[in-house]
């Protein structure tokens, strides 16, 4: 049974026969799959171009992650330490979430609440009793709040990321501000620990950086599309910047060979040094708020 839906919101069958929430209001259009609680589209009416990037080659099938939009990585980021058989980036993005509620807010935005508990978290790899809640507010801005609750008597430790794929005109021309001075693990260079010396991060090759101990907002400037995208966050001490460039794009079956210039991932995370420990009977919430303005 699904909750009653307000005007401008329908629950239908999307690609791959997967359940999809389609949102079409006077302030934004959006699409969210229950598979992975995966937001695939959010486009404010003010924006002629999509804000979230989606691969034309993405799979839409149970058990497989969707390529693009905002995948939720949990309870580990990247490969699972000591268990190469476990799915990369965890199991939340390949699990089927419950739709708990959808409401229309006074400002016209749509509020969506989803949940998942360890009973339905599809994996032998997750042994803890836990509950996940995900709340999105879709309007002129996009807000996402990911909450992990530990109903048990022992602490649980996890990593998580809102692995946001942003659409850009040409990734070779964009710059990212907000990470100056932050330490990062360079995954293109054996995860060596480095410091972001320059004020701006630019993309001139395969880039895969996990910035740690940073709570700063980041701002992407995209001269080709004439816009700035700002990502503000709370409850997050890591940020990830990723572009696969040429070779890695070719190596991924669900990513088009020539799609890499049109996207960049700016992820809101807690990973590596910043893994989170939630005490018994407590919760942790990580939020990201994305806004777009003309540059
Ligand atoms: O967030 C960057 C990253 O961890 C990269 O290392 C790259 O593998 C990317 O995620 C995509 O991972 P996926 O499992 O979705 O192919």
Which strand (E) or helix (H) includes residue 72? strand 72-73
Q: How many CA atoms lie within 13 A of 36 on its CB side?
A: 31
CA dist list (Å): 209 to 17, 89, 112, 203: 35, 15, 31, 11
- From 74, 79, 89, 263, mutation site for ligand 1 pocket: most ligand atoms within 8 A of C-beta: 89
- 204 versus 125: the higher-pLDDT residue is 204
pLDDT tens across 238-290, in order? Answer: 999 999 999 999 999 999 999 999 999 999 999 999 999 999 999 999 999 99
pLDDT of residue 118: 74
Residue partners of 206: CB distance under 8 A and separation at least 6: 188, 243, 244, 245, 246, 247, 248
| 267 is known as an active-site residue | yes
pLDDT of residue 28: 98
Q: How far is the CA of 79 from the centre of ligand 1 (A)?
A: 9
Token pair in block for residue 25: 């209001």
- From 163, 259, 264, mutation site for ligand 1 pocket: most ligand atoms within 8 A of C-beta: 163
pLDDT at 14 over 70: yes
| 163 is known as an active-site residue | yes
Determine the Cα–Cα distance for residues 178 and 232; give it in Å rounded to an integer. 10
CA 79 to mean position of chain CA atoms: 17
Which atom of ligand 1 is the closest one to the Cα of 267? 1
pLDDT at 7 over 90: yes
Percent of the chain at pLDDT above 70?
Answer: 97
Percent of the chain at pLDDT above 90?
Answer: 94
Specify whether the CB–CB gap between 288 and 162 falls below 8 A: yes
pLDDT tens across 52-109, in order? Answer: 999 999 999 999 999 999 999 999 999 999 999 999 999 999 999 999 999 999 999 9
Which strand (E) or helix (H) includes residue 33? strand 28-33
pLDDT of residue 121: 67
Using a 6 Å CB cutoff, which residues line ligand 1?
65, 78, 88-89, 163, 187, 208, 240, 242, 252, 265, 267
Token pair in block for residue 65: 């992650």
pTM for the structure as a whole: 0.98
pLDDT tens across 116-147, in order? Answer: 987 776 566 666 788 999 999 999 999 999 99
Residue in 163, 232, 259, 284 annotated catalytic? 163
pLDDT tens across 157-191, in order? Answer: 999 999 999 999 999 999 999 999 999 999 999 99
């Amino acid at each position: 049974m699904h909750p009653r839906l307000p005007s401008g919101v329908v629950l239908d069958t999307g690609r791959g026969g997967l359940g999809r929430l389609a949102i079409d209001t006077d302030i934004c259009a959006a699409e969210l799959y229950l598979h992975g609680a995966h937001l695939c589209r959010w486009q404010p009416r003010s924006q002629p171009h999509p804000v979230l990037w989606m691969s034309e080659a993405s799979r839409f099938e149970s058990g497989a992650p969707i390529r693009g939009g905002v995948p939720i990585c949990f309870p580990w980021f990247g490969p699972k330490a000591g268990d190469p058989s476990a799915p990369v980036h965890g199991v939340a993005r390949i699990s089927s979430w419950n739709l708990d509620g959808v409401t229309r807010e006074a400002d016209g935005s749509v509020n969506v609440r989803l949940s998942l508990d360890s009973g339905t978290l599809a994996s032998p790899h997750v042994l803890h009793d836990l509950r996940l809640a995900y709340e999105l507010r879709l309007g002129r801005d996009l807000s996402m709040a990911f909450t992990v609750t530990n109903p048990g008597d022992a602490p649980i430790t996890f990593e998580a990321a809102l692995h946001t794929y942003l659409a850009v005109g040409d990734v070779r021309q964009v710059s990212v501000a907000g990470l100056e001075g932050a330490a990062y693990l360079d995954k293109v260079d054996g995860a060596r620990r480095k410091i972001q010396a320059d004020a701006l991060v630019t993309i001139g090759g395969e880039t895969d950086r996990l910035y740690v101990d940073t709570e700063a907002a980041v701002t992407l400037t995209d001269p080709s599309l004439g816009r700035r995208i700002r990502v503000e966050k709370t409850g997050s001490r890591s940020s990830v910047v990723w572009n696969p460039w040429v070779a890695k794009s070719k190596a991924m079956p669900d990513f088009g060979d020539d799609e890499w210039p049109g996207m960049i991932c700016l992820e809101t995370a807690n990973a590596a040094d910043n893994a989170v420990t939630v005490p018994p009977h407590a919760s942790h919430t990580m939020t990201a708020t994305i806004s777009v303005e003309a540059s």
